[in-house]
Structure formats: structure tokens, C-alpha cells
Amino acid sequence: MSSTEDIRRRIEELRSELNRHNHNYYVLNAPEISDKEFDMLLKELESLEAEHPEFDDPYSPTKRVGSDLSKGFEQVVHERRMLSLGNTYSVEEVDEFVGRCREALPGEDVTIVGEMKFDGTSISLLYEDGRLVRAVTRGDGERGDVVTDNVITIRSIPLQLSGSGWPRRFEIRGEIVLPWKAFERLNQERAFNEEPLFANPRNAASGTLKMQNSAEVARRGLDAWFYYLLGDELPFDNHYDNMMAARSWGFKVSDAMTRLHSIDEVDRYISYWDTARKELPVATDGLVFKVNSLRQQLNLGFTAKSPRWAIAYKFQAERALTPLRFVSFEVGRTGVITPVANLEPVLLSGTIVKRASLHNEDIIRQLDIHEHDHLYVEKGGEIIPKITGVDLDARTVGALPVSFVKVCPACSTPLVRVEGEASWVCPNKYGCRPQIVGRIEHFVGRRMMNIDGIGQETARAMFDAGLISNPADIYSLTETDLLKLDGFGPRSAERVLEGVEQSKSVAFGRVIYALSIPYVGETVAKKLAKSVRDIDTLISMSAEALTEIDDIGPRIAESIVDFFSHQSNREIVERLRQAGLQMASESTQSAGSDRLAGKSIVISGTFTHNSRDRYKEIIEENGGKNVGSISKKTDFILAGDNMGPAKLEKARKLSIPILSEDEFLAMLKSENS
Ligand code: IVH
């Protein structure tokens, strides 16, 4: 048996080893041990910490996995306001900036520091005695949100500084970014789950930083680069040396940071990074030039909004000029008409662009697009190309302005413009082909009925082959029908039929969402499922009664009433019911069990079979209660991977059973059958 002192020493040894390996891996990109060896050390530390809560430390590397406790963000006032930077797109203006600084400091040498302008979301970290004590977002510059729990999950941020010579108390500012790779992975995942995509890594980074679930933040792979050290006792009298010191304490400081001694060097720096930045693993939107000497910075001072000693040079978004072939008008599932610019194919940031949405009539007017115009297409940090202007010099004499269609391009019904909205809509909801097909595609989608084997293309092929003309027809499909489809064999047919069968157990809320009632999105649908007992109640409700439900306004209520006033919709719903779909909220169904009646259950960790949210639903469907924190009253914990060590310890202390995902599901199954 080792003494408590031995254990404490081992815990400390492990923490400092793990901190060092984190730094090697995330900051220096030079790991010394394998991931597996790292995990083993981490596991050892986790179990020692669990057995010895007296040695708990909120800065332990085990805390980097995040927790799932959700709470709002506290706000604090910044000790020093977080200002922005004056910016320019022109090299001449950067040169003028350098000239101005020199004039204001006659007879002095002025060294300029050139650095990357990272395109993420800014963060201010406070360190005391070498430890991270607080992380705050920029907010409005005066006050920001305290996001320490989320920031702790970013492995490249040191919780405990290494090296020496740091001030007892200082602030460091930097940019939290989502590297391109992690951004692409996240968007792929979101596309797979049919969730809206992030337009660029900046939005993804700021969205992630403000999430309530730090375990999810940990999973997404944020990173951070630092560029500004503030405090009363900084080690050096200049920005560059201070940043190099910060690097030695464990912060990520870009290798691109360099001292420039002439306007010529500044210009060369710009022309080099204008192209080289495309190879960087993170998004950058420009360069920043700062006067190096802190004394000179003080002399130059600030304007109301930004420092006079710094300027941002913004990279020109990548832009191409290409002729417009024609504007097409596309009809969506809800009847909204979207104008699309069809372009002569052009290469832009490595991909060929042929089409770009023009969104609505107002945008066509603002851009004043004429037939055959040459259009500017930009991509910047965005993944979706955007039309930003017209080359007037290239306009052909006599070309007419592009006009918006007056009738539906698919069914020729005159379009209507919804009051207060920018879009034109085809009102022929139940007779317009792309709307009908769009609704079928939506119905089978992953977040709706999730019918395995029927993707968008298959849905369209089935419609074109005359096999289905509405969602209810899907439930009468036979193998013989399916074999008529191009490329369908017995195996793919069987897969579809199985998928159709499985969809019958999809929860009521998703069925409502799948129906494509205008303005009824996923959240509203779930709310409706919770508030109304079953579909018959929903069909019979007046707009007034509907608006009594939380978050249901008159527009949604009227749309629901209108939807069910159509005989054809009521027939589809009836046939879906006959097919066996869930048409009532599960708590009122005999199928839901009371297996978990009266039980308080804590969910912790990350799961593979179902999402956390789904587990919450399952608990409620079976009469249980999902609670946030462990207490004597907790009946058991449903634990996924990476359950927090503090929770683990508490559960052990109170002898509360911990069930794995599989055990939990098996328990429900055995009891329900
Ligand atoms: S210095 C008082 N340096 O750009 C000067 N900012 O437009 C404070 N940014 O809010 C900022 N890279 O979020 C500075 N190397 C860099 C930067 C940088 C990105 C962001 C930062 C700031 C914004 C200003």
C-alpha cells in the first residue's frame, strides 16, 4: 500500500507529465509519446483523482474533456477595453500608416511587427500565479461572457504556464479558431445529420465557444493563437519580445510574427503572405502591423475605437469575373422561388463555380443585374460563392434588366409575395410538382422519418416512375414496385422496405415535422407533440387554441389550420395512421412503459447509439426524470464515454449504480417485451 503522500506525488507527477505532452502535441506539433501511451497516463490520473477527491484540482488535465452541465454565461467588465483595429485593403494605406507613425515619433527608429490576422473569435485570458483563472469573450468590447469551462477544453491553451518569468498577473489576448480540417469534419457531420452548415470557420468557432455543453466543445477541436500581452509588469518593453516570452510559457504564437524595419520590408511581407496564407491550416483574413515599442505605442495612443499604433491589412476575398448565362428560378418544398445565377464555369479558390444563389428579387434589383452581364463572384472565407457586383464596362448595349418571374416556372400559377417578406411564393402547394417532390424528399430525410434506403434521388425516381405521389404512398410500396426502379435489385428493395418498416416507430414530433406544414420546423413540431395529445386533437384545434401553446404565434397557428383544412392533407394523415405511424405523444401511449416511473436519472458523458437528447426523451417516455446533478436521490447514472471524474467520484461515494448505454437499453428492452 502506498502512502497518501506517495499518491499525491504521483498525481502531481502525472499532471505535469500530461501538461507537458499536451504542449508537445497541441502547441509544438511534436509529440514524444503515442496517443495510446497518453491515454494510459490520463486514465491512471483519472482513477487516482476519483479515489482521492481531496487532491481535486480544477486545472487538472483530466478536466480538458469538458462537462455536460449547462449553465448560462456570467458577464464581466473587461479590465482594459477590447478595441478593434482600423483596417484597409490597400498596401499604400499600410505604407501611409507606417509614415504617420514615423512622423509622430520624430528622430526615432520605428520597428513594425507584422503578424497574421486570424479569422476566428477573440478571447481574453487572465493568468494569476501562472494559472489560467478566467476566459472572457470580446462581447461588446466593454463586457464579455465568461467562457472558462469551454476554453479549458482547448488543449493548446496552457492551464499552468511552463518556463519562467511570467508576471504574477497578466492578461493575454488571442483568437480562438476552428482549423480548416476540423471545420470541414464538423460540416460533413452536420450535412449527414441534415443540420444547417456553418458558412465559415469564424462562425463555427464563435458558435462553438458559446455552447452550453463543454464536452461537445471539447469534441469539435478548437485551437487558439495569441497576439497581445497586457499587464503592469510585462517582461519586456516591446511587443515582439513579450510575445516570444509568451510562446516560451506555452502559448501558441504564430511563426509568421516578425520584425520589419522598412516600408519595403512591410510591402514584401504583404506580397509574400497574400499567397502563402492559402497553405495555412487555419483561416486568416489579413495581416496586422503593430508598432513594436510599448513606449512608442503609448505615445501614439488610441482613437475612440482603435489603437493608432496598429492597422489591419485585409486580404482581398478571392474574386472572379464571369459572364452570366441566364437566371433560373427554382421552386422549393415550401413554394418559395429562389433565383439562381447560372454562370460560365470559373475557377475560384480551387473549385469550379457554375451557379450562385441570388436569394430574392430585392438582391437582383440592388445588384442591378442585366442579361449577359459579367458578374463578380467571391468566396472569401465562405464556402458558398456569392455574387457581389457587376462589371458595368462589359454590359452589352440594349441588354435588359433581369426581371423576376411572375408565374411559377413549374406550374405557371401566378406568384404571390408574402407581406413583410422578400420572397415570392407559388401558392399552388398541392398541385406544383417541385413542391410535392420536395415534401416527399423532406419526409424521408434523416431528421424526419429517416427512411434508410430512400435518399433524395430515390424519392424523385419513385415519383417520376409514378410509384408514389405523396408520403403516404411510401407505405404501400411493394418489392415488385421497387424492382421497377433503375438500379434496384432485391437487396436494395429489401433495404427500403426495412427502412419503411422502421420509420413506423419514429416519434410523433418528428412525424409532425415530416408533414411539411409551412412554418412548422423541427422545434415547433416537437413543441406541438408535447402539448397536444394526438393528431386528432391537432387537426381539430382552432388558430386561437393553438396560439395558447408556448412559442406558437398567429402565423404558425394559421398555417397549421390551413394545412389541415385541405381534404388531401387529412387523407394523407389518415393513411399514415393506418400504416402504423406514431400519431400520439408517447407518454399517452400504452406502448411507452412506466419502467422508470419515479426514478431520478443523471445522464453523463458522450454516447454512440442515441444522442443525449434522445436519451432524455427515452427516460421521459418511460416515466423517469432526467436530473442535472448527482444527489442521494439519484437512482442511477446513464454513463457514456468520458464521464467526468468528479461525477464518477460522487457516484461512487453515494454508491449510485452506473449503467452503460448498452445496459440501459437492454434493461428497457427486457422490461418492455
Ligand atoms: S490586435 C488593440 N492582432 O481582429 C488591438 N487582433 O479587428 C487588438 N485579430 O478583435 C487587436 N488577429 O479579434 C490583433 N494578430 C492580431 C489579430 C487580431 C486577429 C482580431 C481580433 C480583434 C480584431 C480586430
Q: Give me the mean pLDDT over the 108-133 stretch.
A: 96
Given this model, what pLDDT does residue 128 score? 97
Residue nearest to atom 13 of ligand 1 (CA): 122
Task: Count other Cβ atoms within 10 Å, centred on residue 446.
Answer: 14
Identify which has the larger pLDDT, 564 or 630.
Answer: 564
- Ligand 1 binding pocket mutation candidate from 80, 82, 85 (most atoms within 8 A of CB): 85
Tell me if residue 387 falls in helix, strand or coil. Answer: strand
Q: Which residues contact 407 (CB under 8 A, 6 or more apart)?
A: 413, 414, 415
Mean pLDDT is lowest, of 1-15, 83-97, 244-258, 637-651, for 637-651
Is the predicted pLDDT of residue 249 greater than 90, yes or no? Answer: yes
In whole angstroms, give the CA distance from residue 349 to residue 342. 18
Ligand 1 atom nearest to 302, measured from its CA: 2
Mean pLDDT is lowest, of 177-186, 536-545, 653-662, for 653-662
Q: How confident is the model at residue 613 (pLDDT cuts 50, 70, 90)?
A: confident
Q: Give me the mean pLDDT over the 3-7 stretch.
A: 90
In whole angstroms, give the CA distance from residue 408 to residue 410. 5
Ligand 1 atom nearest to 310, measured from its CA: 5
Helix (H) or strand (E) holding 191: helix 180-192
Given this model, what pLDDT does residue 590 score? 40
Amino acid at 8: R
Is the predicted pLDDT of residue 140 greater than 60, yes or no? Answer: yes
> Cα of 285 to ligand 1 centre, how many Å?
11
- The backbone torsions φ and ψ at residue 135, rounded to the nearest 5 degrees and listed phi first, read -125, 130
Given this model, what pLDDT does residue 588 score? 43
Residue nearest to atom 14 of ligand 1 (CA): 227
Is the predicted pLDDT of residue 58 greater than 90, yes or no? Answer: no
Q: Which three cell numbers stand for residue 305?
A: 475605437
The DSSP secondary structure of 165-180, one letter per residue, reads ---SEEEEEEEEE--H
pLDDT tens figures, 360-389: 999 999 999 999 999 999 986 667 889 999
Instruction: Compute CA distances 308 → 124, 236, 315, 334, 637, whole Å.
Output: 21, 21, 21, 51, 56
Q: Give me the mean pLDDT over the 606-618 stretch.
A: 80
Is the predicted pLDDT of residue 441 greater than 50, yes or no? Answer: yes
Q: How confident is the model at residue 260 (pLDDT cuts 50, 70, 90)?
A: very high
> Cα of 485 to ligand 1 centre, how many Å?
57
**End-to-end CA gap in the chain:** 48
Q: How confident is the model at residue 70 (pLDDT cuts 50, 70, 90)?
A: very low
> Cα of 165 to ligand 1 centre, how many Å?
25
**Residue whose C-alpha is closest to residue 214's, from 638, 605, 601, 523:** 605
Given this model, what pLDDT does residue 587 score? 53
pLDDT tens figures, 564-605: 999 999 999 999 999 999 999 865 444 567 788 889 999 988
Q: Are 228 and 174 in contact (CB under 8 A)?
A: yes
Residue nearest to atom 2 of ligand 1 (CA): 83
Torsion of CA 307, 309, 310, 311, to 10 degrees: 90
> Cα of 253 to ligand 1 centre, how many Å?
13
Is the predicted pLDDT of residue 103 greater than 90, yes or no? Answer: yes
Task: Count other Cβ atoms within 10 Å, centred on residue 343.
Answer: 22
pLDDT tens figures, 473-494: 999 999 999 999 999 999 999 9
Q: Which three cell numbers stand for residue 152?
A: 479549458
- Ligand 1 binding pocket mutation candidate from 122, 239, 285, 313 (most atoms within 8 A of CB): 122
Is the predicted pLDDT of residue 67 greater than 90, yes or no? Answer: no
> Cα of 137 to ligand 1 centre, how many Å?
13
Is the predicted pLDDT of residue 642 greater than 80, yes or no? Answer: no
Output the average pLDDT for the chain: 91
Q: Give me the mean pLDDT over the 395-413 stretch.
A: 96
Is the predicted pLDDT of residue 115 greater than 50, yes or no? Answer: yes
Q: Are 329 and 338 in contact (CB under 8 A)?
A: yes
- Ligand 1 binding pocket mutation candidate from 118, 225, 303 (most atoms within 8 A of CB): 118
Ligand 1 atom nearest to 115, measured from its CA: 15
Given this model, what pLDDT does residue 301 score? 95
The DSSP secondary structure of 470-528, one letter per residue, reads SGGGGGG--HHHHHTSTT--HHHHHHHHHHHHHGGGS-HHHHHHHT--TT--HHHHHHH
> Cα of 505 to ligand 1 centre, how many Å?
51
Q: How confident is the model at residue 66 (pLDDT cuts 50, 70, 90)?
A: low
- Burial track 659-668 (b if 16+ CB lie within 10 A, e otherwise): eebeebbeeb
Ligand 1 atom nearest to 306, measured from its CA: 2
Ligand 1 atom nearest to 254, measured from its CA: 15
> Cα of 206 to ligand 1 centre, how many Å?
15
Helix (H) or strand (E) holding 248: helix 239-249
Q: What is the 3-state secondary structure (H, E, C) of 116-138?
A: EEECCEEEEEEEECCEEEEEEEC
Amino acid at 420: G
In whole angstroms, give the CA distance from residue 82 to residue 339. 41
Catalytic residues: 117
Given this model, what pLDDT does residue 672 score? 55
Q: Are 432 and 425 in contact (CB under 8 A)?
A: no
Instruction: Compute CA distances 345 → 352, 355, 456, whole Å.
Output: 6, 8, 26
Given this model, what pLDDT does residue 671 score? 59
In whole angstroms, give the CA distance from residue 658 to residue 461. 48
Q: What angle do CA 575, 578, 579 make, to 5 degrees?
A: 90
Amino acid at 423: S
**Residue whose C-alpha is closest to residue 554's, from 544, 569, 562, 564:** 544
Is the predicted pLDDT of residue 9 greater than 90, yes or no? Answer: yes
Tell me if residue 43 falls in helix, strand or coil. Answer: helix
Task: Count other Cβ atoms within 10 Å, centred on residue 300.
Answer: 18
> Cα of 380 to ligand 1 centre, how many Å?
18
- Ligand 1 binding pocket mutation candidate from 206, 288, 290 (most atoms within 8 A of CB): 288
Ligand 1 atom nearest to 121, measured from its CA: 13
Q: Are 160 and 59 in contact (CB under 8 A)?
A: yes
Residue nearest to atom 9 of ligand 1 (CA): 117
> Cα of 120 to ligand 1 centre, how many Å?
10
> Cα of 215 to ligand 1 centre, how many Å?
28
Residue nearest to atom 12 of ligand 1 (CA): 117
Residue nearest to atom 23 of ligand 1 (CA): 84
**Residue whose C-alpha is closest to residue 8's, from 72, 70, 53:** 53
Mean pLDDT is lowest, of 91-105, 156-170, 387-401, 652-666, for 652-666
User: HSE (CB half, 13 Å, CA atoms) of 265?
Assistant: 13
| Whole-model pTM over 0.75 | no
Ligand 1 atom nearest to 228, measured from its CA: 1
Q: Are 555 and 519 in contact (CB under 8 A)?
A: yes
**Ligand 1 binding residues, C-beta < 6 A:** 83-85, 115-118, 122, 138, 175, 227-228, 288, 307, 310, 312
Grid coordinates 504564430 are at which residue?
254
Q: Are 249 and 94 in contact (CB under 8 A)?
A: no
Given this model, what pLDDT does residue 606 score? 80
Ligand 1 atom nearest to 138, measured from its CA: 10
- Ligand 1 binding pocket mutation candidate from 80, 116, 117, 306 (most atoms within 8 A of CB): 117
Ligand 1 atom nearest to 84, measured from its CA: 24
Q: Are 576 and 444 in contact (CB under 8 A)?
A: no
Ligand 1 atom nearest to 116, measured from its CA: 15
pLDDT tens figures, 319-328: 899 999 999 9
Is the predicted pLDDT of residue 68 greater than 70, yes or no? Answer: no
> Cα of 184 to ligand 1 centre, how many Å?
24
Residue nearest to atom 10 of ligand 1 (CA): 84
Grid coordinates 452536420 are at which residue?
190
- Ligand 1 binding pocket mutation candidate from 80, 112, 121, 227 (most atoms within 8 A of CB): 227
Residue nearest to atom 6 of ligand 1 (CA): 117
Highest mean pLDDT among 55-59, 199-203, 574-578, 604-608: 574-578
> Cα of 182 to ligand 1 centre, how many Å?
22
Residue nearest to atom 18 of ligand 1 (CA): 117
Task: Count other Cβ atoms within 10 Å, centred on residue 670.
Answer: 9
What percent of the chain stands above pLDDT 70? 97
In whole angstroms, give the CA distance from residue 391 to residue 331. 29
Residue nearest to atom 21 of ligand 1 (CA): 122
